[in-house]
Amino acid sequence: MSQQIKTVGEGINRVDGILKVTGAATYATDYPVKNLAYAVLFKSTIAAGEITGMDTGEAEKAPGVLAVITHKNAPKLNVNGGLRGGALLQGPAVQFYGQHIGMVVAETFEQARYASRLVKVSYKEGSAKVDFPKLKEEAVTPHDRDKADAIRGDVETAFSNAEYKIDAVYETPVEHHNPMEPHSSIAVWEGEKLTLYNGSQIINGAQQSAASTLNLKPENVRIVSPHIGGGFGSKGGQWANLALAAVAAKAVDRPVKLALTRQQMFTSVGLRQRNHQHIRLAATKEGKLTALAHETTTFCAINGEFVEPCGDCSKLMYDVPNSKISYKVVPMNFIIPTYTRGPGKSTGSYALEAAMDELAYKLGMDPIQFRLKNEPARDPSSGKPWSSRATVQCLEAGAKAFGWEKRKPEPGQNRQGNYLVGYGVACGTYPSRQQASSAIVKLARTGKEVSATIELAASDLGTGTHTILAQTAADALGIPVSKIDVKIGDSSLPPAAGSVGSVGAASFSNAVADVCNKAIDELTAQSGKQFITRPTAADLMIAGNVPSYQTRADAHAPDEARNYSSHAFNANFAEVWVNASTGMVRVNRFLAVTGAGKILNPKTARSQIIGGNIWGIGMALTEESIVDTRYGNFVTRSFADYHIPANLDIGTLDTIFIQEEDTIVNKLGVKGIGEVAIVGVAAAVANAIFNATGKRVRDLPITPDKLL
């Protein structure tokens, strides 16, 4: 009998690491397609109105130009096909600054870009809604039923009667996803069949949306996306550029590459909208919460509604008998907002956890003890029991590892030279779910060597999907990781969930475990033998002289999971140094303690956590998309002015994972960590800044001008 393999839980190197460091990994525009032409989009320069004239003559005569496509000659597309943001060249109406209004297709990218600047456009300009502070009073109740008021008890009475309370507004700005790899596609037609090489977080979702928009059968559209250079939600739902690449390729009857520029990304693929969050929080003098109201006002697009669920954490983080979660939204002339890492939870946790810190200070309580005192035994929003909840363990383990006892409760008391030093803490949560996914395993034997190929239409954002699936398969089959080949990122493979909402790892790994265990069970039954210990795939194929074998499994969440509330939880600890003269803030140390079920690979998991932490630090200190309200465009549209943290901005980052055994959420007990990694981070930094300086800044980012 072969020795069983155990690699799940080990921090092995990425199986696709060599491909990436040598440049051999294929991203959307890396495929060596023959006879390739290039498309470049050109965009509106008004935020509202309509196109009254478009002179494309000079562009059409430019060297190398193959076609100029506008609303006047674009094919009829299904605008309700599932692609987000409109901008499909279906008419003269303009609904936001930077809307796609046409594209040039040419022999080279440079020729297409040059010609796109030769198109002359005239407009009838309308009245644009682009100034959120002036328009937020016009906000109305969203159509989305999930955003209806959620009320428990009597908030108004409890709040008015409370001795200790906080009533404050917390603002978070517009942010953009800005993945390292901008959105891009190569479209290749073969008759009526279309292949799209494209970065897609949801492979089958991209297939369905592209097919529906282009009026094709889904089986005639293939999405190929084995590697993705980041997405953070922007590549979850697909956008107009995907279909327009196919339109361009059909128009010139040859393959076409369409890649957005960094500047175009700011008005092409959604954003995190600005959120005005009114928090009212009340407690007894002993520190027991009595009331919580979290009222969010935000904006959506003129042509579509999306409301970030900022109140989600407030629904369930703390035991409070009287609560109200509500939303208001105002339609504005911007591209539709969309899911952005930790949607709602990252922004909402900033408001909630900053308010908790404020109230703890007013009570004279340690902020950790205040949170522990209000730990709920069950999910307050539903009454369901937790499948597991690690908040207490996260706070206690983090406090010990971070040295929380060194924190001085009164602000401004810890000084190192010209620097004010402060400690902050904040908690976070994100739902844990498994979604339906299917997988095929193909086993092959050569002599006594057995290898396996795993196939499913999963995606890898750079999170390590290839690696954790190879580990899962290796353990279930009992063969080394080096003998596992993982094929994902192709809609022709068995359908799978997407890498969104922290469902990817749980959904993919459970499907792979199920199919590999099924193969072992079927081969065991086929052998007609009994084994004292569970045999490996090699044992069975060698003993039965089986040259090859394959099977498929369709995995779903356990039925009992719906009876529980399942979430990942964390506690974040920040040490900041604030220059007393300049107001510059540096996060010197940051510790994230996370309870997220079984950690399949601590090395890739740590990478996910610190990535989310860095974004959360950027959210707290630097990231902000600023609108020029005269025109409705973003004046921040490159990394020169949209500031994300660089290496020198980040101090020491540490991670701790709490051991959790939770087989209620799914068989393997995997919860997902990509989203929760950013939740609570900005609040921890903001709370540390208050502890350092005594100044409470309630609108992000916290820049030096707000501290001086």
**What are the catalytic residues?**
675
Alpha carbons 482 and 471: distance in angstroms, whole number: 10
Alpha carbons 622 and 586: distance in angstroms, whole number: 11
Alpha carbons 5 and 26: distance in angstroms, whole number: 30
Sign of CA dihedral 208, 214, 217, 223: negative
Q: Where in 22-179 does DSSP place strands (E)?
A: 37-43, 49-55, 65-70, 93-94, 100-106, 120-125, 150-152, 164-172
Q: Where in 79-212 does DSSP place strands (E)?
A: 93-94, 100-106, 120-125, 150-152, 164-172, 184-190, 193-198
Alpha carbons 71 and 404: distance in angstroms, whole number: 61
Q: Do residues 242 and 198 make contact, with C-beta atoms less than 8 angstroms apart?
A: yes
Alpha carbons 477 and 513: distance in angstroms, whole number: 9
Q: Where in 107-159 does DSSP place strands (E)?
A: 120-125, 150-152
Residue in 525, 556, 536 with CA at minimum distance from that of residue 443: 536
Provide φ and ψ at 157, rounded to 5°. -65, -45
Please return the burial class of 583, using the count of CB atoms within 10 Å of its CB with bins 0-12, 13-18 and 19+.
Answer: middle
Q: 27: Cβ–Cβ under 8 A, 6 or more apart, which residues? A: 181, 184, 199, 227, 228, 229
Which CA distances in Å does 133 have to 389, 469, 637?
38, 47, 21
- With left for phi above 0 and alpha for psi between -120 and 50, is residue 413 left, alpha or beta? alpha
Q: 359: Cβ–Cβ under 8 A, 6 or more apart, which residues? A: 164, 165, 166, 281, 282, 283, 370
Q: Do residues 433 and 364 make contact, with C-beta atoms less than 8 angstroms apart?
A: no
Q: Do residues 600 and 471 make contact, with C-beta atoms less than 8 angstroms apart?
A: yes
Alpha carbons 366 and 423: distance in angstroms, whole number: 12
- With left for phi above 0 and alpha for psi between -120 and 50, is residue 345 left, alpha or beta? alpha
Enter the DSSP assignment of 487. Answer: E
Residue 362, classed as helix, strand or coil, is helix
Please return the burial class of 396, using the count of CB atoms within 10 Å of its CB with bins 0-12, 13-18 and 19+.
Answer: middle
Q: 623: Cβ–Cβ under 8 A, 6 or more apart, which residues? A: 173, 175, 615, 642, 643, 644, 701
One-letter identity of residue 123? Y
Alpha carbons 675 and 347: distance in angstroms, whole number: 12
Provide φ and ψ at 407, rounded to 5°. -65, 135
Q: Do residues 100 and 254 make contact, with C-beta atoms less than 8 angstroms apart?
A: no
Question: Please, what is the end-to-end C-alpha distance for the chain in angstroms?
Answer: 70
Q: Do residues 272 and 306 make contact, with C-beta atoms less than 8 angstroms apart?
A: no
